[in-house]
A and B are shown apart, each in its own frame.
Chain A
Amino acid sequence: MQITVLFFGKVADTLGERQRVLDFADTDMSLFTLRQSVLGTAFASGALSRERVLMSVNQGLTQEDRSLQAGDEVAFFPVFSGG
């Protein structure tokens, strides 16, 4: 299944990209698994802190146990900083 992943703020800066389209053979996947595959390295190196990265599915804030469906738009970003 295809998932579009967007990055904002420091998360985009750290990864050096703002968007990635991923195709998974597995159709039963949680946001936890996706986050690990996309941000696992940055968490391990300390470039990003797991506690400071929020996530959304189809523009709604959500938690890591959320299951994903084909066509979902997932985003990872830091806590908001306001204006």
Chain B
Amino acid sequence: MATVETLLLPQALDGQTLYRRFVEANRGAGAIVTFSGRVRGETADGAVSHLWLDWYPGMTEQSLTDIAEAAAARFDVLALLVAHRCGEVQAEDEIVFVAAASSHRRAAFEAADYLMDRLKSEAALWKREIGEGFARWVEPTAKDADDLKRWT
């Protein structure tokens, strides 16, 4: 069974440090795929200064764990890491980091892709975009729903 680690971070997320630690812990892996998601500074409404990611302590962590464990069961991976921010996240800051280690590249690519599609729709987080003169709660888009259907 693969090693699964999930982190919900109210403070800064440092993908580089997580990456080095992940590599160290998975020296035998032939492939490591990582994804780093960042807060876009621009949306259709204008420039975003920061996000507020509301979370439900306990339920939110469990949702990350459920998604990561489903990925571990589905793909032939050695280890998975999911780190997600909560609270206030500034534009251009890292909001999510995932890493997948496997013996061969395909499973690692697919596991990272799957993790991100599910995190975008099913992580128990509520996102508010705040910019100059506007603030709005964001709901999943039709694109997010289509992305999720790729895995059903």
Contact = CB atoms under 8 A, between A and B. Distances in A.
A12 B54 contact: yes
Given A8-B54, A8-B56, A80 B137 contact: no
Interface string B37-53: 10000000000000001
Measured as residues with beta carbon below 8 angstroms from the partner, the interface class of chain A is: 10 to 19
Given A13-B137, A59-B59, A82 B54 contact: no
Interface string B91-135: 000011000000000000000000000011111111110000000
Q: Which DSSP category, helix, strand, loop or mixed, fits chain A's interface?
A: mixed
Given A10-B126, A77-B126, A82 B120 contact: yes
A77 B58 CA distance: 15
Interface of B: 37, 53-56, 58-59, 62-63, 84-85, 95-96, 119-128, 137-140, 144
Interface in A58-83: 59, 75, 77-83
